A and B are shown apart, each in its own frame.
Chain A
Amino acid sequence: MKSYKKAQTKFLEQVVGFGFLRLCMLIILGILSVIFFDIISKSWGVITWEFLTQSPRNGMAEGGILPTIVGTVLITIITAIFSVPLGMGCAIYLNEYAGTGKLTRLIRISIRNLSGVPSIVYGLFGVALFVEAMHFGTCILSAGLTLGLMTLPWTITASEEALKGVPMSYREGSLALGATQWQSIRTNVLPYAIPGMLTGTILGLARAAGETAPILFTGAAFALPGLPKSLFDQFMAMPYHLYIMSTQHHAIEIVRPIAYGTALVLILVVFLMNLSAIVLRYHLRKSRQE
Protein backbone atom coordinates (compact mmCIF):
# COMPACT_ATOMS: atom_id res chain seq x y z
CA MET A 1 0.00 0.00 0.00
CA LYS A 2 2.98 2.26 0.57
CA SER A 3 3.53 3.02 -3.09
CA TYR A 4 0.13 4.72 -3.44
CA LYS A 5 0.02 8.49 -3.28
CA LYS A 6 -1.51 10.05 -0.23
CA ALA A 7 -5.05 11.31 -0.65
CA GLN A 8 -3.91 14.76 0.40
CA THR A 9 -1.25 14.97 -2.31
CA LYS A 10 -3.73 13.81 -4.91
CA PHE A 11 -6.21 16.41 -3.76
CA LEU A 12 -3.59 19.14 -3.98
CA GLU A 13 -2.58 18.06 -7.47
CA GLN A 14 -6.18 18.24 -8.52
CA VAL A 15 -6.66 21.72 -7.10
CA VAL A 16 -3.54 23.00 -8.85
CA GLY A 17 -4.48 21.31 -12.13
CA PHE A 18 -8.01 22.63 -12.21
CA GLY A 19 -6.82 26.01 -11.03
CA PHE A 20 -4.50 26.31 -14.00
CA LEU A 21 -7.18 25.27 -16.48
CA ARG A 22 -9.61 27.72 -14.95
CA LEU A 23 -7.02 30.49 -15.27
CA CYS A 24 -6.57 29.78 -19.00
CA MET A 25 -10.30 30.00 -19.48
CA LEU A 26 -10.57 33.25 -17.53
CA ILE A 27 -7.77 34.91 -19.51
CA ILE A 28 -9.44 34.09 -22.82
CA LEU A 29 -12.81 35.19 -21.54
CA GLY A 30 -11.21 38.42 -20.31
CA ILE A 31 -9.62 39.26 -23.66
CA LEU A 32 -12.86 38.51 -25.49
CA SER A 33 -14.97 40.66 -23.22
CA VAL A 34 -12.56 43.60 -23.47
CA ILE A 35 -12.76 43.50 -27.26
CA PHE A 36 -16.49 43.11 -27.23
CA PHE A 37 -17.02 45.81 -24.62
CA ASP A 38 -14.76 48.21 -26.50
CA ILE A 39 -16.65 47.73 -29.76
CA ILE A 40 -20.07 47.94 -28.17
CA SER A 41 -19.29 51.04 -26.12
CA LYS A 42 -17.90 52.89 -29.12
CA SER A 43 -20.66 51.94 -31.52
CA TRP A 44 -23.61 52.12 -29.20
CA GLY A 45 -25.02 55.42 -30.40
CA VAL A 46 -24.42 54.61 -34.06
CA ILE A 47 -26.60 51.55 -34.49
CA THR A 48 -29.98 52.91 -35.43
CA TRP A 49 -32.65 51.80 -37.86
CA GLU A 50 -31.31 54.34 -40.35
CA PHE A 51 -27.79 52.96 -40.00
CA LEU A 52 -29.02 49.54 -41.05
CA THR A 53 -31.37 50.62 -43.83
CA GLN A 54 -29.70 53.51 -45.64
CA SER A 55 -26.80 53.97 -48.00
CA PRO A 56 -23.73 56.02 -47.04
CA ARG A 57 -23.99 59.73 -47.75
CA ASN A 58 -21.67 62.69 -47.91
CA GLY A 59 -18.51 60.88 -48.91
CA MET A 60 -19.42 58.03 -46.54
CA ALA A 61 -19.21 60.28 -43.51
CA GLU A 62 -22.94 59.98 -42.84
CA GLY A 63 -25.82 57.63 -43.49
CA GLY A 64 -25.99 53.87 -43.08
CA ILE A 65 -24.26 50.75 -44.27
CA LEU A 66 -27.09 48.90 -46.02
CA PRO A 67 -25.14 48.20 -49.27
CA THR A 68 -22.34 46.56 -47.29
CA ILE A 69 -24.77 44.30 -45.46
CA VAL A 70 -26.48 43.34 -48.71
CA GLY A 71 -23.12 42.72 -50.37
CA THR A 72 -21.81 40.52 -47.62
CA VAL A 73 -25.03 38.49 -47.49
CA LEU A 74 -25.05 38.03 -51.28
CA ILE A 75 -21.45 36.83 -51.57
CA THR A 76 -21.95 34.52 -48.61
CA ILE A 77 -24.93 32.97 -50.37
CA ILE A 78 -22.84 32.43 -53.52
CA THR A 79 -20.09 30.97 -51.36
CA ALA A 80 -22.56 28.57 -49.74
CA ILE A 81 -24.16 27.48 -53.02
CA PHE A 82 -20.73 26.76 -54.44
CA SER A 83 -18.87 25.22 -51.54
CA VAL A 84 -21.47 23.34 -49.49
CA PRO A 85 -22.55 20.72 -52.05
CA LEU A 86 -19.08 20.46 -53.57
CA GLY A 87 -17.36 20.17 -50.20
CA MET A 88 -19.81 17.64 -48.83
CA GLY A 89 -19.68 15.58 -52.01
CA CYS A 90 -15.92 15.59 -51.97
CA ALA A 91 -15.85 14.56 -48.30
CA ILE A 92 -18.29 11.71 -48.94
CA TYR A 93 -16.18 10.51 -51.82
CA LEU A 94 -12.92 10.72 -49.88
CA ASN A 95 -14.23 9.09 -46.74
CA GLU A 96 -16.56 6.46 -48.14
CA TYR A 97 -15.29 5.49 -51.57
CA ALA A 98 -11.68 6.51 -52.07
CA GLY A 99 -10.12 3.82 -49.91
CA THR A 100 -6.75 4.22 -48.29
CA GLY A 101 -4.29 4.31 -51.17
CA LYS A 102 -1.32 6.62 -51.61
CA LEU A 103 -3.27 8.89 -53.96
CA THR A 104 -6.06 9.38 -51.42
CA ARG A 105 -3.54 10.26 -48.77
CA LEU A 106 -1.88 12.74 -51.10
CA ILE A 107 -5.22 14.37 -51.90
CA ARG A 108 -6.08 14.60 -48.23
CA ILE A 109 -2.73 16.17 -47.32
CA SER A 110 -3.15 18.68 -50.15
CA ILE A 111 -6.57 19.65 -48.86
CA ARG A 112 -5.24 20.12 -45.34
CA ASN A 113 -2.48 22.30 -46.74
CA LEU A 114 -4.91 24.35 -48.81
CA SER A 115 -6.71 25.34 -45.64
CA GLY A 116 -3.48 26.96 -44.50
CA VAL A 117 -2.97 29.04 -47.65
CA PRO A 118 -3.27 32.78 -46.82
CA SER A 119 -6.54 34.28 -47.97
CA ILE A 120 -4.85 36.96 -50.06
CA VAL A 121 -3.42 34.17 -52.22
CA TYR A 122 -6.94 32.95 -52.87
CA GLY A 123 -7.81 36.52 -53.81
CA LEU A 124 -5.06 36.56 -56.40
CA PHE A 125 -6.10 33.20 -57.73
CA GLY A 126 -9.71 34.39 -57.93
CA VAL A 127 -8.64 37.30 -60.11
CA ALA A 128 -6.75 35.00 -62.44
CA LEU A 129 -9.48 32.38 -62.69
CA PHE A 130 -12.89 33.99 -62.29
CA VAL A 131 -12.28 37.63 -63.14
CA GLU A 132 -9.96 37.10 -66.10
CA ALA A 133 -9.88 33.57 -67.45
CA MET A 134 -13.64 33.06 -67.10
CA HIS A 135 -14.46 36.70 -67.93
CA PHE A 136 -16.85 37.22 -65.02
CA GLY A 137 -15.17 40.54 -64.25
CA THR A 138 -14.94 42.00 -60.76
CA CYS A 139 -18.35 41.17 -59.35
CA ILE A 140 -20.41 39.37 -56.71
CA LEU A 141 -20.08 36.07 -58.53
CA SER A 142 -16.28 36.22 -58.77
CA ALA A 143 -15.91 37.22 -55.12
CA GLY A 144 -18.40 34.59 -53.91
CA LEU A 145 -16.68 31.86 -55.88
CA THR A 146 -13.26 32.95 -54.61
CA LEU A 147 -14.51 32.78 -51.04
CA GLY A 148 -16.06 29.43 -51.92
CA LEU A 149 -12.68 28.10 -53.02
CA MET A 150 -11.20 29.35 -49.80
CA THR A 151 -13.79 27.63 -47.62
CA LEU A 152 -13.73 24.34 -49.55
CA PRO A 153 -10.84 22.80 -47.58
CA TRP A 154 -12.63 23.70 -44.35
CA THR A 155 -15.93 22.29 -45.52
CA ILE A 156 -14.28 19.10 -46.72
CA THR A 157 -12.29 18.57 -43.55
CA ALA A 158 -15.23 19.31 -41.25
CA SER A 159 -17.52 17.04 -43.29
CA GLU A 160 -14.98 14.25 -43.27
CA GLU A 161 -14.64 14.49 -39.50
CA ALA A 162 -18.42 14.25 -39.21
CA LEU A 163 -18.46 11.17 -41.45
CA LYS A 164 -15.66 9.56 -39.45
CA GLY A 165 -17.81 10.04 -36.36
CA VAL A 166 -20.44 7.63 -37.71
CA PRO A 167 -19.58 4.18 -36.32
CA MET A 168 -18.34 1.59 -38.80
CA SER A 169 -20.98 -0.79 -37.45
CA TYR A 170 -23.78 1.27 -39.04
CA ARG A 171 -22.19 0.75 -42.42
CA GLU A 172 -21.47 -2.92 -41.81
CA GLY A 173 -24.95 -3.52 -40.45
CA SER A 174 -26.69 -2.15 -43.50
CA LEU A 175 -24.29 -3.71 -46.01
CA ALA A 176 -24.81 -7.08 -44.33
CA LEU A 177 -28.54 -6.71 -45.04
CA GLY A 178 -27.87 -6.39 -48.75
CA ALA A 179 -27.69 -2.62 -49.06
CA THR A 180 -25.58 -1.21 -51.85
CA GLN A 181 -22.83 1.08 -50.72
CA TRP A 182 -24.76 4.13 -51.83
CA GLN A 183 -27.92 2.94 -50.03
CA SER A 184 -25.89 2.38 -46.91
CA ILE A 185 -24.38 5.86 -47.10
CA ARG A 186 -27.66 7.55 -47.91
CA THR A 187 -29.83 5.85 -45.31
CA ASN A 188 -27.42 4.90 -42.58
CA VAL A 189 -24.44 7.25 -42.66
CA LEU A 190 -25.49 10.67 -43.97
CA PRO A 191 -28.45 11.13 -41.64
CA TYR A 192 -26.10 10.86 -38.68
CA ALA A 193 -23.29 12.88 -40.22
CA ILE A 194 -25.34 15.78 -41.60
CA PRO A 195 -25.63 17.74 -38.33
CA GLY A 196 -21.87 17.75 -37.88
CA MET A 197 -21.28 18.46 -41.57
CA LEU A 198 -23.62 21.44 -41.50
CA THR A 199 -22.11 22.86 -38.34
CA GLY A 200 -18.59 22.73 -39.71
CA THR A 201 -19.76 24.17 -42.99
CA ILE A 202 -21.61 27.09 -41.44
CA LEU A 203 -18.58 27.92 -39.29
CA GLY A 204 -16.52 28.00 -42.49
CA LEU A 205 -19.07 30.31 -44.12
CA ALA A 206 -19.04 32.60 -41.10
CA ARG A 207 -15.30 32.91 -41.46
CA ALA A 208 -15.66 33.64 -45.16
CA ALA A 209 -18.20 36.38 -44.47
CA GLY A 210 -15.60 38.27 -42.47
CA GLU A 211 -12.75 38.00 -44.99
CA THR A 212 -11.41 41.03 -46.81
CA ALA A 213 -8.43 39.87 -48.81
CA PRO A 214 -10.17 37.43 -51.20
CA ILE A 215 -12.83 39.99 -52.20
CA LEU A 216 -10.47 42.90 -52.43
CA PHE A 217 -9.48 42.32 -56.08
CA THR A 218 -12.43 40.23 -57.14
CA GLY A 219 -15.40 42.53 -56.80
CA ALA A 220 -15.59 44.62 -53.62
CA ALA A 221 -15.89 48.33 -54.33
CA PHE A 222 -14.73 51.32 -52.32
CA ALA A 223 -18.07 53.06 -52.66
CA LEU A 224 -21.10 52.55 -54.90
CA PRO A 225 -24.09 54.77 -55.54
CA GLY A 226 -26.75 52.03 -55.24
CA LEU A 227 -27.38 48.40 -54.45
CA PRO A 228 -26.09 45.78 -56.89
CA LYS A 229 -28.63 44.71 -59.52
CA SER A 230 -27.11 41.48 -60.74
CA LEU A 231 -24.47 38.93 -59.87
CA PHE A 232 -22.16 40.63 -62.35
CA ASP A 233 -22.20 43.95 -60.48
CA GLN A 234 -19.62 45.13 -58.04
CA PHE A 235 -20.66 45.34 -54.41
CA MET A 236 -19.76 46.79 -51.03
CA ALA A 237 -18.98 44.46 -48.17
CA MET A 238 -18.77 44.93 -44.43
CA PRO A 239 -15.20 43.79 -43.80
CA TYR A 240 -13.87 45.90 -46.65
CA HIS A 241 -15.96 48.87 -45.58
CA LEU A 242 -14.52 48.53 -42.11
CA TYR A 243 -11.02 48.54 -43.53
CA ILE A 244 -11.74 51.67 -45.56
CA MET A 245 -13.37 53.45 -42.67
CA SER A 246 -10.49 52.80 -40.35
CA THR A 247 -7.53 53.40 -42.67
CA GLN A 248 -8.44 54.82 -46.07
CA HIS A 249 -11.07 57.49 -45.42
CA HIS A 250 -10.10 61.16 -45.71
CA ALA A 251 -11.61 61.97 -42.34
CA ILE A 252 -10.81 58.93 -40.28
CA GLU A 253 -11.43 60.54 -36.90
CA ILE A 254 -14.91 61.65 -37.88
CA VAL A 255 -16.05 58.33 -39.34
CA ARG A 256 -14.62 56.26 -36.47
CA PRO A 257 -18.08 55.62 -34.97
CA ILE A 258 -19.28 54.32 -38.34
CA ALA A 259 -16.30 51.94 -38.41
CA TYR A 260 -17.20 50.65 -34.98
CA GLY A 261 -20.85 50.36 -35.95
CA THR A 262 -19.87 48.31 -38.99
CA ALA A 263 -17.66 46.13 -36.83
CA LEU A 264 -20.52 45.42 -34.44
CA VAL A 265 -22.95 44.57 -37.24
CA LEU A 266 -20.36 42.27 -38.82
CA ILE A 267 -19.77 40.52 -35.50
CA LEU A 268 -23.51 40.14 -35.02
CA VAL A 269 -23.98 38.67 -38.50
CA VAL A 270 -21.20 36.16 -37.93
CA PHE A 271 -22.55 35.42 -34.47
CA LEU A 272 -26.02 34.85 -35.91
CA MET A 273 -24.61 32.40 -38.42
CA ASN A 274 -22.79 30.49 -35.70
CA LEU A 275 -25.88 30.50 -33.56
CA SER A 276 -27.98 29.14 -36.40
CA ALA A 277 -25.40 26.36 -36.80
CA ILE A 278 -25.80 25.44 -33.15
CA VAL A 279 -29.59 25.60 -33.25
CA LEU A 280 -29.72 23.58 -36.45
CA ARG A 281 -27.46 20.89 -35.04
CA TYR A 282 -29.46 20.75 -31.84
CA HIS A 283 -32.72 20.24 -33.71
CA LEU A 284 -31.31 17.66 -36.12
CA ARG A 285 -29.79 15.70 -33.25
CA LYS A 286 -33.03 15.83 -31.31
CA SER A 287 -35.16 14.69 -34.21
CA ARG A 288 -32.78 11.71 -34.64
CA GLN A 289 -33.17 10.67 -31.05
CA GLU A 290 -36.93 10.33 -31.07
Chain B
Amino acid sequence: MSQNFIAIDGFNFYYGQSKCLKNITLGIAPKEVTSIIGPSGCGKSTLLRCFNRMNDLIPNTRIEGTIHIDGQNIYTPDVDVVDLRRKVGMVFQRPNPFPKSIFENVAYGLRINGVKNKEFIAEKIEQGLINAGLWNEVKDRLHENALRLSGGQQQRLCVARALAIEPEVVLMDEPASALDPIATAKLEELIVELKKKYTIVIVTHNMQQAARISDITVFLMQGELIERGKTSEIFTRPTKKITEEYITGRFG
Protein backbone atom coordinates (compact mmCIF):
# COMPACT_ATOMS: atom_id res chain seq x y z
CA MET B 1 0.00 0.00 0.00
CA SER B 2 1.68 3.16 -1.09
CA GLN B 3 -0.99 5.82 -0.74
CA ASN B 4 -1.70 6.91 2.83
CA PHE B 5 -5.32 7.30 3.89
CA ILE B 6 -4.35 9.26 6.98
CA ALA B 7 -1.26 11.45 6.79
CA ILE B 8 0.04 13.18 9.90
CA ASP B 9 2.73 15.76 9.32
CA GLY B 10 4.82 17.64 11.87
CA PHE B 11 1.99 17.42 14.34
CA ASN B 12 2.16 18.93 17.84
CA PHE B 13 -0.60 18.93 20.42
CA TYR B 14 -0.82 21.03 23.56
CA TYR B 15 -3.02 20.75 26.64
CA GLY B 16 -2.65 24.35 27.83
CA GLN B 17 1.10 24.84 28.13
CA SER B 18 2.10 21.21 28.20
CA LYS B 19 3.11 19.67 24.91
CA CYS B 20 1.58 16.24 24.71
CA LEU B 21 2.39 15.20 21.12
CA LYS B 22 5.75 16.18 19.72
CA ASN B 23 6.40 16.52 16.03
CA ILE B 24 4.55 13.40 14.96
CA THR B 25 4.86 12.43 11.31
CA LEU B 26 3.09 9.25 10.35
CA GLY B 27 1.23 7.70 7.45
CA ILE B 28 -1.62 5.23 7.84
CA ALA B 29 -2.53 3.10 4.87
CA PRO B 30 -6.14 2.36 3.89
CA LYS B 31 -7.74 -0.96 4.81
CA GLU B 32 -5.04 -1.93 7.21
CA VAL B 33 -4.96 -2.27 10.96
CA THR B 34 -2.53 0.07 12.67
CA SER B 35 -1.77 -0.43 16.36
CA ILE B 36 -0.54 2.35 18.56
CA ILE B 37 1.37 1.08 21.57
CA GLY B 38 3.28 2.83 24.31
CA PRO B 39 3.42 3.39 28.05
CA SER B 40 0.46 4.87 29.90
CA GLY B 41 0.22 8.63 29.51
CA CYS B 42 2.39 8.79 26.38
CA GLY B 43 -0.37 10.36 24.30
CA LYS B 44 -2.00 7.44 22.46
CA SER B 45 -5.56 8.48 23.24
CA THR B 46 -4.72 12.08 22.49
CA LEU B 47 -3.38 11.19 19.07
CA LEU B 48 -6.38 9.01 18.30
CA ARG B 49 -8.77 11.75 19.36
CA CYS B 50 -7.08 14.15 16.94
CA PHE B 51 -8.21 12.02 13.98
CA ASN B 52 -11.88 12.88 14.57
CA ARG B 53 -11.14 16.23 16.25
CA MET B 54 -12.63 15.05 19.50
CA ASN B 55 -10.04 17.14 21.32
CA ASP B 56 -11.79 20.27 20.02
CA LEU B 57 -14.18 19.77 22.93
CA ILE B 58 -11.43 20.19 25.51
CA PRO B 59 -10.83 23.83 26.33
CA ASN B 60 -7.34 25.35 26.07
CA THR B 61 -5.98 22.85 23.61
CA ARG B 62 -3.94 23.76 20.56
CA ILE B 63 -2.43 22.01 17.57
CA GLU B 64 0.36 22.63 15.11
CA GLY B 65 1.02 20.76 11.88
CA THR B 66 -1.46 18.95 9.68
CA ILE B 67 -3.51 15.79 9.51
CA HIS B 68 -4.91 14.79 6.13
CA ILE B 69 -7.61 12.16 5.88
CA ASP B 70 -8.53 10.98 2.42
CA GLY B 71 -6.55 13.88 0.99
CA GLN B 72 -8.29 16.56 3.01
CA ASN B 73 -6.66 18.61 5.74
CA ILE B 74 -9.05 18.05 8.62
CA TYR B 75 -7.87 21.04 10.62
CA THR B 76 -8.73 23.77 8.12
CA PRO B 77 -11.62 26.06 9.06
CA ASP B 78 -13.82 24.97 6.16
CA VAL B 79 -13.92 21.34 7.28
CA ASP B 80 -17.33 20.19 8.48
CA VAL B 81 -16.48 18.47 11.76
CA VAL B 82 -19.84 16.70 11.83
CA ASP B 83 -19.13 15.18 8.46
CA LEU B 84 -15.62 14.24 9.52
CA ARG B 85 -16.88 12.41 12.59
CA ARG B 86 -19.45 10.53 10.57
CA LYS B 87 -16.63 9.24 8.40
CA VAL B 88 -14.21 8.63 11.25
CA GLY B 89 -15.94 6.49 13.89
CA MET B 90 -14.64 5.99 17.38
CA VAL B 91 -14.86 3.51 20.23
CA PHE B 92 -13.80 5.25 23.44
CA GLN B 93 -11.42 3.98 26.09
CA ARG B 94 -14.22 3.84 28.66
CA PRO B 95 -17.44 2.24 27.45
CA ASN B 96 -19.99 5.05 27.13
CA PRO B 97 -23.37 3.62 26.20
CA PHE B 98 -26.20 6.14 26.34
CA PRO B 99 -28.81 5.51 29.02
CA LYS B 100 -31.24 4.45 26.33
CA SER B 101 -32.33 1.00 25.22
CA ILE B 102 -29.83 -1.28 23.53
CA PHE B 103 -31.78 -0.84 20.31
CA GLU B 104 -31.78 2.95 20.54
CA ASN B 105 -28.06 3.02 21.27
CA VAL B 106 -27.23 1.36 17.98
CA ALA B 107 -29.98 3.24 16.14
CA TYR B 108 -28.72 6.58 17.44
CA GLY B 109 -26.14 7.23 14.74
CA LEU B 110 -28.59 6.30 11.99
CA ARG B 111 -31.36 8.47 13.37
CA ILE B 112 -29.27 11.61 13.80
CA ASN B 113 -28.03 11.14 10.27
CA GLY B 114 -31.58 11.22 9.04
CA VAL B 115 -32.39 7.54 8.46
CA LYS B 116 -36.12 6.98 9.04
CA ASN B 117 -36.87 3.62 7.43
CA LYS B 118 -37.71 1.28 10.31
CA GLU B 119 -36.87 -1.98 8.56
CA PHE B 120 -33.55 -0.60 7.40
CA ILE B 121 -32.70 0.49 10.95
CA ALA B 122 -33.70 -2.86 12.44
CA GLU B 123 -31.61 -4.67 9.86
CA LYS B 124 -28.57 -2.47 10.50
CA ILE B 125 -28.92 -2.97 14.23
CA GLU B 126 -29.04 -6.73 13.96
CA GLN B 127 -26.05 -6.73 11.62
CA GLY B 128 -24.11 -4.35 13.86
CA LEU B 129 -24.77 -6.41 16.96
CA ILE B 130 -23.86 -9.63 15.17
CA ASN B 131 -20.63 -8.01 13.98
CA ALA B 132 -19.79 -6.88 17.47
CA GLY B 133 -20.47 -10.39 18.80
CA LEU B 134 -23.29 -9.24 21.03
CA TRP B 135 -26.41 -10.34 19.16
CA ASN B 136 -26.95 -13.67 20.89
CA GLU B 137 -26.69 -12.13 24.34
CA VAL B 138 -29.09 -9.27 23.73
CA LYS B 139 -31.50 -10.33 20.98
CA ASP B 140 -34.28 -10.98 23.51
CA ARG B 141 -33.73 -7.79 25.49
CA LEU B 142 -33.15 -5.14 22.83
CA HIS B 143 -35.44 -2.71 24.61
CA GLU B 144 -33.77 -2.92 27.97
CA ASN B 145 -31.62 -0.04 29.19
CA ALA B 146 -28.05 -0.45 27.94
CA LEU B 147 -26.64 0.57 31.32
CA ARG B 148 -27.75 -2.81 32.64
CA LEU B 149 -25.24 -4.58 30.41
CA SER B 150 -21.91 -5.73 31.84
CA GLY B 151 -18.82 -3.63 31.14
CA GLY B 152 -17.66 -5.91 28.35
CA GLN B 153 -21.10 -6.04 26.78
CA GLN B 154 -21.27 -2.26 26.95
CA GLN B 155 -17.99 -1.98 25.08
CA ARG B 156 -19.19 -4.32 22.35
CA LEU B 157 -22.38 -2.28 22.14
CA CYS B 158 -20.23 0.79 21.55
CA VAL B 159 -18.46 -1.07 18.77
CA ALA B 160 -21.82 -1.96 17.21
CA ARG B 161 -22.96 1.65 17.57
CA ALA B 162 -19.86 2.99 15.84
CA LEU B 163 -20.13 0.47 13.00
CA ALA B 164 -23.84 1.02 12.37
CA ILE B 165 -23.22 4.25 10.47
CA GLU B 166 -20.55 2.62 8.31
CA PRO B 167 -17.65 5.01 8.77
CA GLU B 168 -14.53 4.82 6.63
CA VAL B 169 -12.08 4.86 9.51
CA VAL B 170 -12.65 3.14 12.84
CA LEU B 171 -10.67 4.40 15.83
CA MET B 172 -10.60 2.06 18.81
CA ASP B 173 -9.10 3.08 22.13
CA GLU B 174 -8.29 -0.09 24.06
CA PRO B 175 -11.55 -1.70 23.01
CA ALA B 176 -10.67 -4.99 24.67
CA SER B 177 -9.55 -3.72 28.05
CA ALA B 178 -12.86 -4.71 29.68
CA LEU B 179 -13.41 -7.92 27.76
CA ASP B 180 -12.85 -11.54 28.78
CA PRO B 181 -10.59 -13.74 26.61
CA ILE B 182 -13.49 -15.13 24.59
CA ALA B 183 -15.00 -11.75 23.83
CA THR B 184 -11.52 -10.43 23.09
CA ALA B 185 -10.92 -13.20 20.60
CA LYS B 186 -14.26 -12.42 18.95
CA LEU B 187 -13.44 -8.74 18.79
CA GLU B 188 -10.05 -9.47 17.27
CA GLU B 189 -11.70 -11.67 14.64
CA LEU B 190 -14.09 -8.84 13.96
CA ILE B 191 -11.28 -6.33 13.56
CA VAL B 192 -9.50 -8.55 11.07
CA GLU B 193 -12.80 -8.96 9.23
CA LEU B 194 -13.51 -5.22 9.31
CA LYS B 195 -10.17 -4.55 7.68
CA LYS B 196 -11.71 -5.50 4.34
CA LYS B 197 -13.91 -2.43 4.45
CA TYR B 198 -12.42 -0.03 6.94
CA THR B 199 -9.17 1.63 7.89
CA ILE B 200 -8.60 0.77 11.52
CA VAL B 201 -6.44 2.42 14.14
CA ILE B 202 -6.37 0.70 17.50
CA VAL B 203 -4.69 1.64 20.77
CA THR B 204 -3.74 -1.33 22.90
CA HIS B 205 -1.64 -2.24 25.90
CA ASN B 206 -1.72 -5.88 24.92
CA MET B 207 1.40 -6.70 22.90
CA GLN B 208 0.11 -10.08 21.77
CA GLN B 209 -3.02 -8.42 20.54
CA ALA B 210 -1.08 -5.85 18.56
CA ALA B 211 1.04 -8.64 17.13
CA ARG B 212 -1.98 -10.76 16.22
CA ILE B 213 -4.21 -8.25 14.51
CA SER B 214 -2.23 -5.35 13.18
CA ASP B 215 -0.34 -4.83 9.95
CA ILE B 216 1.54 -1.79 11.18
CA THR B 217 2.63 -0.97 14.70
CA VAL B 218 3.49 2.49 15.97
CA PHE B 219 5.41 2.94 19.20
CA LEU B 220 4.93 6.22 21.07
CA MET B 221 6.77 7.37 24.15
CA GLN B 222 6.36 10.65 26.03
CA GLY B 223 4.57 12.16 23.07
CA GLU B 224 7.22 11.23 20.57
CA LEU B 225 6.96 8.70 17.80
CA ILE B 226 9.82 6.32 18.47
CA GLU B 227 9.26 3.76 15.80
CA ARG B 228 6.80 2.77 13.11
CA GLY B 229 7.02 -0.40 11.09
CA LYS B 230 5.46 -3.60 9.86
CA THR B 231 4.16 -5.42 12.89
CA SER B 232 6.10 -8.54 11.99
CA GLU B 233 9.31 -6.55 11.96
CA ILE B 234 8.68 -4.42 15.03
CA PHE B 235 7.99 -7.48 17.09
CA THR B 236 10.92 -9.53 15.79
CA ARG B 237 13.65 -7.04 15.10
CA PRO B 238 12.88 -3.52 16.26
CA THR B 239 15.45 -0.98 15.17
CA LYS B 240 15.50 0.90 18.48
CA LYS B 241 16.62 -0.59 21.74
CA ILE B 242 13.90 1.16 23.71
CA THR B 243 11.21 -0.38 21.51
CA GLU B 244 12.59 -3.81 22.15
CA GLU B 245 12.69 -3.17 25.88
CA TYR B 246 9.09 -2.00 25.89
CA ILE B 247 7.79 -4.87 23.81
CA THR B 248 9.56 -7.51 25.82
CA GLY B 249 8.46 -5.97 29.09
CA ARG B 250 11.97 -5.18 30.30
CA PHE B 251 11.08 -1.51 30.23
CA GLY B 252 11.77 0.97 33.02
A→B interface (CB under 8 Å): 99-100, 167-180, 183, 187-188, 192, 288-290
In the complex, how many angstroms separate the beta carbon of B121 from the nearest chain A beta carbon?
14
Q: Which of B106-114, B188-196, B227-235, B242-250 contacts A (4 or more CB under 8 A)?
A: B106-114
**Inter-subunit contact A176/B90 (CB<8 Å):** yes
In the complex, how many angstroms separate the beta carbon of A237 from the nearest chain B beta carbon?
42
In the complex, how many angstroms separate the beta carbon of B236 from the nearest chain A beta carbon?
35
B83 within 8 A of A: yes
Report B178-198 CB contacts with A as 1/0, cut-off 8 Å: 000000000000000000000
In the complex, how many angstroms separate the beta carbon of B81 from the nearest chain A beta carbon?
8
B165 within 8 A of A: yes
**Inter-subunit contact B92/A177 (CB<8 Å):** no
Report B144-159 CB contacts with A as 1/0, cut-off 8 Å: 0100000000000010
Identify A176's interface contact among B85, B97, B99, CB under 8 A.
B85
B14 within 8 A of A: no
In the complex, how many angstroms separate the beta carbon of B214 from the nearest chain A beta carbon?
22
Complex A-B, nearest 9 residue pairs according to Cβ-Cβ distance, in ascending order: A178-B86, A169-B96, A177-B109, A176-B90, A179-B112, A173-B96, A100-B59, A178-B85, A183-B112
**Inter-subunit contact A178/B112 (CB<8 Å):** yes
**Inter-subunit contact B98/A170 (CB<8 Å):** yes
- Majority secondary structure of chain A interface residues (helix, strand, loop or mixed): helix
Given contacts A178-B83, A187-B112, contact A172 B98 (CB under 8 A): no
**Inter-subunit contact B92/A173 (CB<8 Å):** yes
B89 within 8 A of A: yes
Identify B89's interface contact among A174, A177, A179, CB under 8 A.
A177
Give Cα A169 to B96, complex, Å.
Answer: 6
Identify A175's interface contact among B54, B111, B158, B165, CB under 8 A.
B54
Residue of B nearest to A166 (CB): B99
Given contacts A177-B108, A180-B82, contact A172 B96 (CB under 8 A): yes
Give Cα A187 to B110, complex, Å.
Answer: 13
Give Cα A288 to B52, complex, Å.
Answer: 30
**Inter-subunit contact B99/A175 (CB<8 Å):** no
Which residues in B have their C-beta under 8 angstroms from that of A176? 52, 54, 85, 89-90, 92, 162
B44 within 8 A of A: no
Question: Can you list 22 residue pairs at the A/B interface with Cβ under 8 Å?
Answer: A99-B59, A169-B94, A169-B96, A170-B96, A170-B98, A172-B96, A173-B98, A174-B98, A174-B108, A175-B57, A176-B54, A176-B90, A176-B162, A177-B89, A177-B108, A177-B165, A178-B82, A178-B86, A178-B109, A289-B99, A290-B101, A290-B145
In the complex, how many angstroms separate the beta carbon of A174 from the nearest chain B beta carbon?
7
Which residues in A have their C-beta under 8 angstroms from that of B83? 178
Residue of A nearest to B161 (CB): A177
Residue of B nearest to A175 (CB): B85
Give Cα A180 to B82, complex, Å.
Answer: 6
Interface residues of B in 51-70 (CB under 8 A from A): 52, 54, 57, 59-60
Which residues in B have their C-beta under 8 angstroms from that of A168? 57
Which residues in A have their C-beta under 8 angstroms from that of B59? 99-100
**Inter-subunit contact B92/A188 (CB<8 Å):** no
Which residues in B have their C-beta under 8 angstroms from that of A187? 108, 111-112
**Inter-subunit contact B82/A288 (CB<8 Å):** no
Give Cα A167 to B147, complex, Å.
Answer: 13
Give Cα A290 to B112, complex, Å.
Answer: 22
Give Cα A245 to B108, complex, Å.
Answer: 59
In the complex, how many angstroms separate the beta carbon of B189 from the nearest chain A beta carbon?
24
